[in-house]
Amino acid sequence: MTTNLPVTTGHQLGRRSWAEPWKIKMVEPLRVTSPDQREHALAEAGYNTFLLRSDDVYIDLLTDSGTSAMSDRQWAGLLLGDESYAGSRNFYQLEEAVRSAYGYQHVVPTHQGRGAEHLISQVAIRPGQYVPGNMYFTTTRAHQELAGGVFEDVIIDEAHDPESEHPFKGNVDIARLERLIAREGAKNIAYVSLAGTVNMAGGQPVSMECVRAVRALCDRHGIRVFLDATRMVENAFFIQEREPGYAGKTIAEILREFCSYTDGAWMSAKKDSLVNIGGWLALNDRDLFEEARNLVVVYEGLHTYGGLAGRDMQAMAIGIAESLQEDHVRARIGQVRYLGDLLARAGVPFVRPVGGHAVFLDARRFYPHLSQDVFPAQTLAAELYLDSGVRSMERGVVSAGRDPATGEHHYPRLELTRLTIPRRVYTQAHMDIVAESVQAVYEQRESAKGLVMTYEPRYLRFFQARFDRL
């Protein structure tokens, strides 16, 4: 099946504006609610946007995960699903797509990213070992800790500063990583957990120079480097745009080169790869792969479907090819930046520079009168929903959870509310509405009082915690 869409957009016509390299074939109606309905729905949801029903949401910017619109090619691919229990042809198509786009040898499909995080953590971490990473991600760190690992943040300081304009805020602080290796010894480092882009820092990229330096340092100490490739295509776009020597390379070439400095990767295909479900773990080491392939049978399903239907793997294989089209990535990030520009004009504080998948509102500067103990970012997500039915997500103290050793809250320096843009779903006019609503909430910022947590689940509390108004 051909996945090469003919694309002629503003970019290729030599214009400065970005435009979507597609037109809309099928639509889904949106529902607008009244302020009273929203007040009721949010109280029912314990002031947690994860607990809202999507029917009560107008524009859904909760996440870019699994919320993409698939192309006509991907939908057609669903009909080619080979639902054999073992050896499905769609698995081999997926394997080939991952090998050619990302360059790794061996592929284990999983139902989504955290399935792959579970496998890599179980096969590559011994209890007590350190796992240095460029900022934590919620599910990634949870699986590392469940495997007995100790996460250590080795991202550069600029990543924690929402106002820093550093072009690669996702970079590893090489000196910090070196100090950790010296302090604990290379044997006590499970692997370096590198993510591109860095979600919790605002979708910020890692440079090629950085991954090369990480590789060189790890080679000297015999430490492996594994990549969270979830939004690596978006990361490649930033390298093409910002890093000397890469302007003439394609996103596909940059992706391959970046991955070549790592020993394997886990993937939530629900992001870059434009599918509603799916993921994979890819490894170059044959022995480690055999272990992961054995474990997948216990937790996900046979190693040729990993918890997915054959049709899901087919859609993923096609989505991988589509995700690498230059005009697609340019329009995708162009839309995120469009929203950022509107908010900048309104004087709303958010993380600079705008990253790949979302605009992250800076709740600390938005609500300077609220301390982190009353959950400013959670409050902002609640107020935004009440204003317009736009759903966003907290990425601050609630998401950071507790230190497993001390039981204390992690207090991250970044207290953010994420406006996450699904791929190929909303229009520029929807972004205008979102910006208007954020501006309205910003104008009433002094009246916000904060929230108190009334229920806290044990794992990944942000998904299911409940709150009340103060």
Dihedral sign, Cα of residue 190, residue 196, residue 201, residue 205 = positive
Q: How far apart are CA 350 and CA 353, in angstroms?
A: 9
In the bound complex, what is the minimum distance in angstroms from residue 369's beta carbon to ligand F0G?
A: 28
Distances (CA, A) of 339 to 82, 179, 360, 366: 41, 40, 11, 17
CB nearer to ligand F0G: pick between 173 and 234: 234
CB nearer to ligand F0G: pick between 70 and 181: 70
In the bound complex, what is the minimum distance in angstroms from residue 113's beta carbon to ligand F0G?
A: 2
Which residues does the annotation mark as catalytic?
85, 137-138, 228, 271, 395, 462
In the bound complex, what is the minimum distance in angstroms from residue 141's beta carbon to ligand F0G?
A: 10
Distances (CA, A) of 354 to 197, 238, 316, 420, 440: 12, 11, 27, 12, 21
CB nearer to ligand F0G: pick between 139 and 304: 139
CB nearer to ligand F0G: pick between 124 and 181: 124
Of all residues in this chain, which one has the CB nearest to ligand F0G in the complex? Answer: 113
Phi/psi-derived region of residue 407, left when phi > 0, alpha when psi is between -120 and 50, beta in every other case: left
Where on the chain is the footprint of ligand F0G (CB under 6 A)? 63, 65, 112-114, 137, 139-140, 195, 199, 228, 230, 268, 270, 279
> Taking the CA of residue 364 as centre, how many other CA atoms within 13 Å lie in the half-sphere pointing to its CB?
15
Q: Angle at CA 53, nearest 5°, toward 452 and 399?
A: 40
Name every residue whose Cβ is closer than 8 Å to that of residue 358 and which is 6 or more positions away in sequence: 61, 64, 202, 203, 336, 418, 419, 420, 421
CB nearer to ligand F0G: pick between 134 and 335: 134
CB nearer to ligand F0G: pick between 45 and 181: 45
Check residue 468 and report its DSSP letter. E
What residues form DSSP beta bridges with 453?
467
In the bound complex, what is the minimum distance in angstroms from residue 199's beta carbon to ligand F0G?
A: 4
The rounded radius of gyration (Å) of the Cα atoms in the chain is: 21
In the bound complex, what is the minimum distance in angstroms from residue 287's beta carbon to ligand F0G?
A: 25
H or E segment and range at residue 107:
strand 106-110
Q: How far apart are CA 399 and CA 363, in angstroms?
A: 14
In the bound complex, what is the minimum distance in angstroms from residue 383's beta carbon to ligand F0G?
A: 20
